[in-house]
Amino acid sequence: MIEKLEDVARRFTELSGLMADADVARSPDIYRKYAKEHAELEPIVACFKQYQKVEQELAEAKDLLEAGGDDEMHELARLEVDSLRKQQEELHQELLALLVPKDPNDEKNVILEIRAGTGGDEAALFGGDLFTMYGRYAERRRWKVEILSSSGASVGGFKEVIAQIIGKGAYSAFKYESGVHRVQRVPATETQGRIHTSTVTVAVLPEAEEVEIDIQDKDLRIDVFRSSGPGGQSVNTTDSAVRVTHLPTNMVVVCQDEKSQLKNKNKALMVLRSRLLEMKREEQDAERSQNRRSQIGSGERAEKIRTYNFPQSRVTDHRIGLTLYQLESVLAGNLDPIVQPLNAHYRAEALKGAGEANK
Task: Provide the residue-wise pLDDT of the chain in tens; the chain has 359 residues.
Answer: 788 889 899 999 999 999 999 999 899 889 999 998 999 899 999 999 999 999 999 999 898 888 777 778 888 888 999 999 999 999 988 887 787 777 888 888 999 999 999 998 999 999 999 999 999 999 999 999 999 888 888 889 999 999 999 999 999 999 999 999 999 999 876 767 789 999 999 999 998 876 567 788 888 898 888 776 543 444 545 678 888 999 989 999 988 877 888 888 888 888 898 888 888 777 755 544 444 445 555 545 457 999 999 999 999 999 999 999 999 999 999 999 999 899 888 887 877 765 555 55
Find the helix packing angle between 28-67 and 71-99, rounded to 10°: 150
The model's pLDDT over 294-337, given as tens digits with 9 standing for 90+, comes to: 555 554 545 799 999 999 999 999 999 999 999 999 999 999 99
Q: Where are the alpha helices (DSSP H) in the chain?
A: 2-20, 22-25, 28-67, 71-99, 121-140, 170-174, 261-284, 292-296, 327-331, 336-357
The model's pLDDT over 154-171, given as tens digits with 9 standing for 90+, comes to: 889 999 999 999 999 999
Q: Looking at the domain 2-99, which fold is it?
A: Methane Monooxygenase Hydroxylase; Chain G, domain 1 (1.20.58)
Closest CA to 275 of 213, 224, 201: 213
Q: Is residue 309 classed as helix, strand or coil in its secondary structure?
A: strand
Domain ranges of the chain: 2-99, 110-347
Q: Looking at the domain 110-347, which fold is it?
A: Alpha-Beta Plaits (3.30.70)
